[in-house]
Chains A and B, each alone.
Chain A
Amino acid sequence: MLRIACPYCGERDQVEFAYGGDASEGFPELADSDVGRWTKFVFVRENPRGVHGEYWHHQYGCRQWLRVVRDTVTHQVHSVAPARQGDRT
């Protein structure tokens, strides 16, 4: 049961958000037709124990996509930033 501090709306309950998956892999260039590159982006995921960068969508709020750094063990949220500004790890 997370509390996520949306940069636009303030601290809100997890129920307002939808999990959007791993954010560590950057979105490939659309013109990149390399199947391997896209396969890595779509399918290949780390499942780390500990700190994890991930997307969350403030679906029942401002509908902004956020980049959340969360600990998968303690569920502690370390940082929340708009996805558009998030630099990728």
Chain B
Amino acid sequence: MTDQPDRLGQGGRIDRSRALSFTFDGRAYAGWSGDTLASALLANGVHLVGRSFKYHRPRGVYAAGVEEPNALVTLRKGGRHEPNVAATTVELFDGLVAESQNRWPSLGLDMLGAIDRLPPVFAAGFYYKTFLGPTRKAWMFYERLIRRTGGMGKPPGQPDPDRYEKAHAFCDVLVVGGGPSGLAAALAAGRDGARVVVVENEPVLGGSLLARPRGGESDAWLAAAIDELAALPNVRVMTRTTAFGAYDNLVFGLAERVNDHLAEPPPYQPRQRYWVLRARRAVLASGMIERPIVFGNNDLPGVMLASAARCYLNRYAALAGRTVVAFTNNDSAYDAAIELAAAGADVSMVDVRRQIPGQLERQARDAGVSLLLGHAVGGANGRRAVDSVDVIEFDAASPSAGAVKSRLPCDLVAVSGGWTPTLHLLAQRGSKPVFDETLAMLVPEVVPEGFRVVGGAAAEEAPLAGLAPERSLATIAPVWAIADPLGARPRKKFVDIQNDVTTDDISLAHLEGYEAVEHLKRYTSQGMGTDQGKTSNLNALAILAGLRDEPRGTVGTTTYRPPYTPVSIGALGGAGTGQHFMPVRRSPIHDWHQGNGAVFTDAGLWQRPWYYPKAGESLDAAYVREAGEVRDGVGMVDVSSLGKIDVQGPDAADFLDRVYVNNWRSLPVGKARYGVMLRADGIVLDDGTTSRISEDHYFMTTTTANAGVVMTQFEFLLQAAWPELKVQVTSVTGQWAGIAVAGPRSRDLLARLVVDLDFDNDAFPFMGVRHGHAGDIPVRLLRISFSGELAYEVYTPADYGEELWRAVHDHGREFGLVVYGTEALGALRIEKGHVAGPEIDGRTTLSDLGLERMASKKKPYLGGALMEREGLTEADRPRLVGLETTDRGTKLRAGAILCQPGRHQGHGIGVVTSVTYSPALGGNIGIGLLAGGMSREGEVIDAVFPLRGEVVAVRVRSPHFVDPEGERLHA
């Protein structure tokens, strides 16, 4: 570890009682509590901190806040690895590990730095123009190479181990910015009793006051303000929090960095918190950001904003340079110059103005600052850091470049081109700032209702009554970019330092017709990236206006969008990651499945048993065994996930008649019926079985996937469309456990279990509904079948689910009962030709699915009118067919395209929707939708799967592969 060569012996707002150590590119350094990574690097004399985006040029710290374009580093290691963080926004903590970016093999020796010396590589639009040929695929090849040379930090390779939170808050007054004007606004509102939230991006309050020398009258005011706010119970101060977005109705997005200032969050604490804050009023006290004047090599380490140099000096006691050239067109940089001189630096002030306010001139001369009025910096020199600047004579009124007049040695160029009020939140609300010619800055024009803009953001000069005013803003001489001196070698003049966009790029874009601000941005990438052009946007617009020969106010600005500063996806996601992203729904019998070797599959939110492998058994072997044993004997499957809706009321039958295509009034109590419902547009929505429990009471089942959709549709119909119907619908999906018991021996099994019911075929016929008891367990039995076998669905209140399952399972032992999962369930239903989700896909009609005979002609039903519209009734629509492979051993693939033999072009003539191996047929089968439908019965066509180059010959046949007459059902 080294000492801190550029740290002043005293002063600053750092805590010298708390020493911190950190590493940068593997080397150990020391800093103090209160430092940022940037201030600590500067105090340690580290000026080269990164390589630039395109040209790999050496770069240093440029600013002292969120506007930093340059000093991007990668923080931490492993899962906490975080690329592209501005070192100026990183609070130093003990053990901090930071790495520089975009350099190889090292920061000092970057091999790709040669790119910088290959003119005119990487000018605006370079990629588009250069990497065009010879074919369209060429770009993909070049892109891989380009990505390696350009770019920023690397993404993390491991999951983020930290927790994030979301929270909501409400207040009367939101104050954005904890500087002097924000604090004054908060005090005024707080004293009136309003609920106030003050949001400050920095870890401490004070804003611009923190950059002033310590011990002044503003410090006393600040301390008193902080104390008073802390004593007001109705005021909440949120530091380390950024108001990054302003939304409708005074809703704000806040990002609170709860524990970013620590190596890792303490146990049970979040790393960051995302707030949705709703305010009645908002005070924008977000201050101003300084912008530079552009000149040749203005990106060299050692060139920085004058306000940043001042901040490092007064807030962090870090001397960014000892031989300083300040370059300005306005008064504010004089504070930095005078205070740097007072700290012992040798300071020359280059000011484009020939005349400056007398008091300013006196103060500067008294401080020992040498003044070069009517001059400009025509370019900087140096290899890895600035070592001198070329000074030219300059007349702001007719800014043509002269020859180099003198060369001033320096290790710091403190530049100021004026200030830009931070109006992002206002602009996000659609209230774009406008250019004020006098102040040469963007100022608010229309302030939206509920907002107030104060302090620097409102271009107010004095932060507060009673405090010494900041320097005048109106004495500025607008100057944006200094051309290369006459006779000098051309240098790159960076407008957007982060994206390596130069004045030449802007000229080129303009020349090629990209002269609208939004086009300029997209063509050159000016204003993109992590800093979103906070220090470069206005310069770019002004330079563009000059090229267009128009007043600056007329070119407009680009669109401001949230977030103001980068917000981690982790914070926006909050706790909703991994399993918390979506809830998991489990059947009441889930634990049994888990304990008995089930492999689960996801069905929407549900986890359902997929198959129950015996030792060493594959999915295919297991489901074929399970399905075969159902047809030979008896099996049971958990169907608890089916949607269940209780329909009650005197008009329930009328309601069912309206939503189902078939007839319901005729259904007697104690019977069930299969029903199909449509959407209003005539497409099939869902199918299921509904039982009439009593005169006014029906028990409906829906598919697992559509339970919520159907329920929502019913609520809409009953509340908005047909409020006159006296019907109540209640979702009871979670209230009932369901078990299907299927196979020729299912009756024998259940008769043994449910002894208070008569299972005789006449007493309990197909589609019968009965209530009984399995031991003590109340059960509702529906004699319905999805498998095509003699089968029952047994329902019981969910809490009895596992007990009932065990009872069926125990009684089934003597019948050779098999437990089966959804894969076998699917195999059985495909063999029977029942449609399910893959066929009811939101595009198919009743007749597409071969269900047109279900439609009642005697009553209207939802979707009936539009079912008849043109296009849905065309004869050649794909319709349901069965398919079997001509070679029984060849597998069919769902999603395969059906084509005429050998004619594998276009979209084919149909699609395979569901496939299985059929134990009953001893071959591979499927169902699908085929143009012409069953009129093609017997034809052999091709099932083509181009992704895998598969062509399988299939024979078209009835989808009812097993028991087409339904004898097994009725047995």
Measured in the bound complex, the distance between the Cα atoms of B862 and A32 in whole Å is 10
Flag the segment in B262-270, B609-617, B865-873 that touches A. B865-873
Which of A2, A32, A38, A57 touches B716 (beta carbons < 8 Å)? A57
Measured in the bound complex, the distance between the Cα atoms of B247 and A75 in whole Å is 10
Question: What total count of A-B pairs have CB within 8 Å?
Answer: 70
Give the A interface residue count (CB, 8 A): 35
Contact B247 A35 (CB under 8 A): no
Report A7-40 CB contacts with B as 1/0, cut-off 8 Å: 0000001000010100100011011111101110
Measured in the bound complex, the distance between the Cα atoms of B716 and A23 in whole Å is 12
Measured in the bound complex, the distance between the Cα atoms of B367 and A77 in whole Å is 60
Contact A35 B869 (CB under 8 A): yes
Q: How far is the CB of A23 from chain B (nearest CB, A)?
A: 8
Contact A2 B249 (CB under 8 A): yes
Contact B865 A35 (CB under 8 A): yes
Measured in the bound complex, the distance between the Cα atoms of B866 and A24 in whole Å is 20
Contact B716 A33 (CB under 8 A): no
Contact B865 A76 (CB under 8 A): no
Residue in B closest to A83 when the chains form the complex, CB atoms: B720
Taking CB atoms and an 8 Å cut-off, the chain A residues in 30-54 that contact chain B are: 30-35, 37-39, 41-43
CB neighbours (8 Å) of B721 from chain A are 27
Measured in the bound complex, the distance between the Cα atoms of B278 and A86 in whole Å is 29
Measured in the bound complex, the distance between the Cα atoms of B712 and A59 in whole Å is 8
Report A59-81 CB contacts with B as 1/0, cut-off 8 Å: 10001110100000011100000
Measured in the bound complex, the distance between the Cα atoms of B711 and A18 in whole Å is 14
Q: How far is the CB of B363 from chain A (nearest CB, A)?
A: 50
Report B857-887 CB contacts with A as 1/0, cut-off 8 Å: 0001110111011000000000000000000
Residue in B closest to A26 when the chains form the complex, CB atoms: B721
Q: How far is the CB of A77 from chain B (nearest CB, A)?
A: 8
Measured in the bound complex, the distance between the Cα atoms of B565 and A88 in whole Å is 45
Measured in the bound complex, the distance between the Cα atoms of B869 and A31 in whole Å is 16
Measured in the bound complex, the distance between the Cα atoms of B865 and A32 in whole Å is 8
Contact B716 A65 (CB under 8 A): yes
CB neighbours (8 Å) of B168 from chain A are 13
CB neighbours (8 Å) of B260 from chain A are none
Which of A18, A64, A76, A84 touches B249 (beta carbons < 8 Å)? A76
CB neighbours (8 Å) of B861 from chain A are 30
Residue in B closest to A71 when the chains form the complex, CB atoms: B248
Which of B247, B276, B719 touches A83 (beta carbons < 8 Å)? B719
Report B232-250 CB contacts with A as 1/0, cut-off 8 Å: 0000000000000001110
Contact A84 B723 (CB under 8 A): yes
CB neighbours (8 Å) of A41 from chain B are 680
Contact A1 B868 (CB under 8 A): no
CB neighbours (8 Å) of A2 from chain B are 248-249
Contact B865 A27 (CB under 8 A): no
Q: Which 9 pairs between the two chains have the least Cβ-Cβ distance? A: A27-B721, A83-B720, A75-B248, A84-B723, A1-B251, A38-B865, A65-B719, A30-B860, A31-B860
Which of A27, A39, A82 touches B869 (beta carbons < 8 Å)? A39
Residue in A closest to B245 when the chains form the complex, CB atoms: A1
CB neighbours (8 Å) of B94 from chain A are none
Contact B865 A65 (CB under 8 A): no
8 A-B residue pairings within 8 Å (CB atoms): A1-B278, A2-B248, A20-B716, A27-B721, A30-B860, A34-B865, A39-B869, A65-B716
Give the one of B715, B722, B865, B866 with max A CB within 10 A: B865
With A34-B865, A39-B866, A42-B681 already in contact, the answer to whether A57 and B712 are too (CB < 8 A) is: yes
CB neighbours (8 Å) of A32 from chain B are 865
With A31-B860, A33-B864 already in contact, the answer to whether A38 and B680 are too (CB < 8 A) is: yes
Measured in the bound complex, the distance between the Cα atoms of B865 and A29 in whole Å is 11
Taking CB atoms and an 8 Å cut-off, the chain B residues in 669-702 that contact chain A are: 680-681
Residue in B closest to A88 when the chains form the complex, CB atoms: B720
Contact A65 B720 (CB under 8 A): yes
Contact B278 A3 (CB under 8 A): yes
Q: How far is the CB of A55 from chain B (nearest CB, A)?
A: 7
Contact B866 A35 (CB under 8 A): yes
Hey, which bits of chain B sit against chain A, CB under 8 A?
168, 247-249, 251, 276, 278, 658, 680-681, 712, 715-716, 719-723, 860-862, 864-866, 868-869
Contact B249 A3 (CB under 8 A): yes
Contact B866 A27 (CB under 8 A): no
CB neighbours (8 Å) of A34 from chain B are 865
Contact A35 B868 (CB under 8 A): yes
Q: How far is the CB of A18 from chain B (nearest CB, A)?
A: 8
Q: How far is the CB of B347 from chain A (nearest CB, A)?
A: 50
With A1-B247, A27-B720, A55-B720 already in contact, the answer to whether A65 and B866 are too (CB < 8 A) is: no
Give the one of A3, A18, A20, A27 with max B CB within 10 A: A27
Extra contacts, 5 of them, besides A31-B860, A38-B866 (Cβ < 8 A), are A1-B251, A18-B712, A27-B720, A27-B722, A83-B716
Measured in the bound complex, the distance between the Cα atoms of B715 and A20 in whole Å is 12
Measured in the bound complex, the distance between the Cα atoms of B894 and A63 in whole Å is 37
Give the one of B680, B716, B720, B861 with max A CB within 10 A: B720
Q: How far is the CB of B178 from chain A (nearest CB, A)?
A: 24
Measured in the bound complex, the distance between the Cα atoms of B644 and A26 in whole Å is 29
Contact A74 B865 (CB under 8 A): no
Contact B249 A42 (CB under 8 A): no
Measured in the bound complex, the distance between the Cα atoms of B721 and A35 in whole Å is 18
Q: How far is the CB of A29 from chain B (nearest CB, A)?
A: 8
With A2-B248, A55-B716, A83-B719 already in contact, the answer to whether A30 and B866 are too (CB < 8 A) is: no
Measured in the bound complex, the distance between the Cα atoms of B723 and A82 in whole Å is 11
CB neighbours (8 Å) of B722 from chain A are 27
Measured in the bound complex, the distance between the Cα atoms of B865 and A86 in whole Å is 25
Measured in the bound complex, the distance between the Cα atoms of B813 and A37 in whole Å is 59
Q: How far is the CB of B659 from chain A (nearest CB, A)?
A: 10
CB neighbours (8 Å) of A82 from chain B are 719
Measured in the bound complex, the distance between the Cα atoms of B168 and A64 in whole Å is 24
Measured in the bound complex, the distance between the Cα atoms of B246 and A75 in whole Å is 14
CB neighbours (8 Å) of A23 from chain B are 720
Contact B719 A33 (CB under 8 A): no
With A3-B278, A13-B168 already in contact, the answer to whether A30 and B716 are too (CB < 8 A) is: no
CB neighbours (8 Å) of A18 from chain B are 712
Q: How far is the CB of A85 from chain B (nearest CB, A)?
A: 8
CB neighbours (8 Å) of B247 from chain A are 1
Measured in the bound complex, the distance between the Cα atoms of B722 and A28 in whole Å is 10
Measured in the bound complex, the distance between the Cα atoms of B721 and A39 in whole Å is 16
Measured in the bound complex, the distance between the Cα atoms of B14 and A54 in whole Å is 57
Contact B719 A1 (CB under 8 A): no
Measured in the bound complex, the distance between the Cα atoms of B723 and A84 in whole Å is 6
Residue in A closest to B251 when the chains form the complex, CB atoms: A1
Measured in the bound complex, the distance between the Cα atoms of B866 and A34 in whole Å is 8
CB neighbours (8 Å) of A86 from chain B are 720
Measured in the bound complex, the distance between the Cα atoms of B542 and A65 in whole Å is 53
Measured in the bound complex, the distance between the Cα atoms of B723 and A23 in whole Å is 15
Measured in the bound complex, the distance between the Cα atoms of B680 and A86 in whole Å is 21
Measured in the bound complex, the distance between the Cα atoms of B716 and A59 in whole Å is 11
Contact A1 B249 (CB under 8 A): yes
Give the one of A3, A23, A35, A76 with max B CB within 10 A: A35
CB neighbours (8 Å) of B716 from chain A are 20, 55, 57, 65, 83
Measured in the bound complex, the distance between the Cα atoms of B864 and A45 in whole Å is 21
CB neighbours (8 Å) of B862 from chain A are 30
Residue in A closest to B868 when the chains form the complex, CB atoms: A35
Contact A42 B715 (CB under 8 A): no
CB neighbours (8 Å) of A67 from chain B are 720
Measured in the bound complex, the distance between the Cα atoms of B730 and A33 in whole Å is 30
Contact B680 A42 (CB under 8 A): yes
Q: How far is the CB of B268 from chain A (nearest CB, A)?
A: 25
CB neighbours (8 Å) of A63 from chain B are 715
Q: How far is the CB of A12 from chain B (nearest CB, A)?
A: 11
Measured in the bound complex, the distance between the Cα atoms of B873 and A35 in whole Å is 13
Measured in the bound complex, the distance between the Cα atoms of B658 and A65 in whole Å is 19
CB neighbours (8 Å) of B278 from chain A are 1, 3
CB neighbours (8 Å) of A64 from chain B are 715, 719
Residue in A closest to B729 when the chains form the complex, CB atoms: A63
Measured in the bound complex, the distance between the Cα atoms of B723 and A3 in whole Å is 26
Contact B658 A30 (CB under 8 A): yes
With A1-B247, A1-B249, A42-B681 already in contact, the answer to whether A65 and B715 are too (CB < 8 A) is: yes
